[in-house]
Structure 1
Amino acid sequence: MYNFLKSVAKNILPKNILVRYEENFRKLLTPIYRGGNCQCNLCGTKLKNFAELENGDKLCPICGSLPRTRRLFMLLNDEFISSNVIVLDFSPSRSLYRKMKKRKEISYYSSDFENEFLADYCYDITNIDAQDQKFDLITCYHVLEHITEDQRAMSELFRVLKDNGTLLVQTPFKKGEIYEDQNITSEEERLKHFGQNDHVRIYSVLGLENRLKKAGFLTDVKTFKSDEYYGLNDNETVIVCRK
C-alpha cells in the first residue's frame, strides 16, 4: 500500500512540493496505519505495522523515519543529548531534522553539502567552516562512504569536536577489508562495486575504526539487536568516537 501511494504521489507532484508538504501528506496515512502493534519513537505514532521497503527496512509511514534513524534518535535521547550541548548533524533525515530543530535546550547545526536534505548549513566535511572545538556532539551517518578524501574528513571532525566530545559514525559495512578503488569513477561502476552510484568505497567495521583512530579518536564499536516494537534492525553497528 505505502509503496503504491508513494509511487502515485511522485508521478503527480513535483519533488519540492512533496518535501514542503510532506508532513501533511503523511498525516493522511494515519487512519490506514494506526494500531497498537508497534510504535515510531520519532513521531510517537502507534501503528498496526511499519511500511516495509524493498530492502526489508521498516519505514514509519507517518514521519518517514528509517530503522537507523529511530535507533539514532533513541541513542541521542538515552545517552548523548543533554541541555546546552552544541550538535552538528551531517545530512540528517527529514524526520530527525524536524524533531531536533524543535528542541530548545540544545544548539542544533544541520549540514547538507549537496542540497539533498533539509539543513541550515552547507559544510564541506573535508574543510568545515567552523572554529576548533566548537561542537559537543557530531553525528555522521552514511556520509563517509561518499567522501573520496575520507581521512581528511575525519581529521576535520576531530578538529571541530570539543575535548571529551562524542562523534557517532555509521556507514554500510562489509566483512573483511575496506573495498575501494580510485579508478572506479563512473556511476554505473560505483553502483556495481559499492552498491550505490555515489559511493566510493565499502568500509569494514575494523577498517573504519582504524582510520578513525588514525585521526586521533578513541573508538567503541557498538552492535545492537533488533526491536520489533520500534522497528529496529538486528546487528546494527555504530562506532562511538571520543576525543
Structure 2
Amino acid sequence: MFRSKRKNPMIEKIKRMLGAFQKSSKYEAGERHCPLCDKSSKTFSEYGVVPRKDARCPHCGSLERHRLVWLYLSRKSKLLTKPPRRALHIAPEGILERKFRPLIGKGYITADLLVSNVDVKMDITDIQYPDESFGFIYCSHVLEHVPDDRKAMREFHRVLTRHGIAILLVPITAKETVEDPSVEDPKERLRLFGQEDHVRRYGPDYLSRLEEEGFVVKKIKRNDFLTPREIGEMGITAAAGELYICKKGPKS
C-alpha cells in the first residue's frame, strides 16, 4: 500500500507542544523554592565564572548569598518590622534593591563607583556622608575589588550609627588572606586571585581585619538558623558563604 510522506499537521503540532513542555518543565514547581520571589522551580540554574550548579533562581535571578542574607534579615533582624531611617547599599543587586527600597523609603541610598544606575556615585574609601548617617549598610562581594579595603572598612564604621548593623560580605577562598598591590595584569590577577578585577583572596582572617577597624563581628553560618531541609529546598549551598554582621564596638 502506498503511504503518503506528508506530515500530519496535528501530530507535528503535538510534537512541538511536547517539546516546549519538556524545555519549560525544568523550571516548573517542585524541588526548589526562592524566598526572595516566593516562586518554585525544579532546580536552580548554573551560574558563575566557574559555573556552580543549583545557584541562580530562574525567576528573579537571586544567588545563594542573596537568599541566605534575606532569610537572615527576615528571620533574625528587625529590618522588616522596624526598618532604619537611612540605609546604604553598595553595588546594589537588583533583587535586593527591589526588596529594600519600598521597605526603607526615601532614606534608602544605592551607590557605586563605576555604574550609573544608582542614586549616588561613590568611592567607598571616601564616603561623602557625615558620621553615623546610616542604620543599615549592605556591601556584598565588593571589598575584594578595592585596593585599600581597610580604609573602606573604616569609612563604613564611621558612617554607621551606634546601634546600626553593617553586613559586609566577601568570598572566602583562601586559608589566609593573600594580596599583592603590585599585581596589575588582569591575567595574573585571575591566576592569583580568581578573577581579573580582584586584588586579593580573603581567608577566615577577614573577620580579624574587620575587628581591627573597630567592628564587633558576629559570623553567621547557614546551619545556625536554617534546617537541613530549608537549606536544600532554598538552594543555600556552601557557595552562599557566611554572613558577617558588624556593629560598632562599645568604645568606638
In structure 2, the partner of 1:94 is: 94
Q: Distance in 1 between matches of 2:24 and 2:133?
A: 40
In structure 1, the partner of 2:19 is: none
**1:230 maps to which of 224, 234, 245:** 234
Q: Distance in 2 between matches of 1:165 and 1:149?
A: 24
1:43-70 alpha-carbon deviations (Å, 9 max, x no partner): 1112222113322352111111111111
Whether 1:42 and 2:47 are equivalent positions in the alignment is: no
* CA apart distance, 1:196: 0.5
Q: Distance in 2 between matches of 1:64 and 1:38?
A: 13
Q: Which amino acid aligns with 2:184?
A: T
The answer for unaligned runs of 5 or more in structure 1 is: 1-28
**1:62 maps to which of 55, 59, 62:** 59
Q: Check conservation: 2:135, 2:164, Cα contact below 8 A.
A: yes
Q: Check conservation: 1:173, 1:202, Cα contact below 8 A.
A: yes
In structure 1, the partner of 2:45 is: 51
* CA apart distance, 1:105: 6.1
Q: Distance in 1 between matches of 2:110 and 2:213?
A: 23
Q: Check conservation: 2:68, 2:236, Cα contact below 8 A.
A: yes
* CA apart distance, 1:83: 2.5
Q: Check conservation: 2:113, 2:121, Cα contact below 8 A.
A: yes
Q: Check conservation: 1:70, 1:232, Cα contact below 8 A.
A: yes
Q: Distance in 2 between matches of 1:181 and 1:147?
A: 12
In structure 2, the partner of 1:10 is: none
Q: Check conservation: 1:135, 1:162, Cα contact below 8 A.
A: yes
Aligned-residue RMSD, C-alpha: 2.1
Q: Which amino acid aligns with 2:94?
A: R
Change (3 A) 1:34 1:57: closer
Q: Distance in 1 between matches of 2:106 and 2:136?
A: 11
Q: Which amino acid aligns with 1:51?
A: S
Identity %: 32
* CA apart distance, 1:236: 2.2
Change (3 A) 1:129 1:179: same
Output the TM-score relative to the length of structure 2.
0.78
Equivalences, count: 213
Change (3 A) 1:183 1:104: closer
The answer for unaligned runs of 5 or more in structure 2 is: 1-22
Q: Which amino acid aligns with 1:72?
A: V
Output the TM-score relative to the length of structure 1.
0.80
Give runs of aligned pairs for residues 14-29 of structure 1, distance below 5 A: none
Q: Check conservation: 1:34, 1:45, Cα contact below 8 A.
A: no
Change (3 A) 1:67 1:212: same
* CA apart distance, 1:160: 0.3
Q: Which amino acid aligns with 2:166?
A: L
Q: Check conservation: 2:169, 2:243, Cα contact below 8 A.
A: yes
* CA apart distance, 1:189: 0.7
**What SS does the corresponding residue of 2:221 show, helix, strand or coil?**
strand
* CA apart distance, 1:175: 4.0
In structure 2, the partner of 1:7 is: none
Q: Check conservation: 2:36, 2:67, Cα contact below 8 A.
A: yes
Q: Which amino acid aligns with 1:79?
A: K
Q: Check conservation: 1:109, 1:120, Cα contact below 8 A.
A: yes
Which runs of 4 or more aligned residues in structure 1 lie more than 6 Å from their structure 2 counterparts after TM superposition? none
Change (3 A) 1:123 1:31: farther
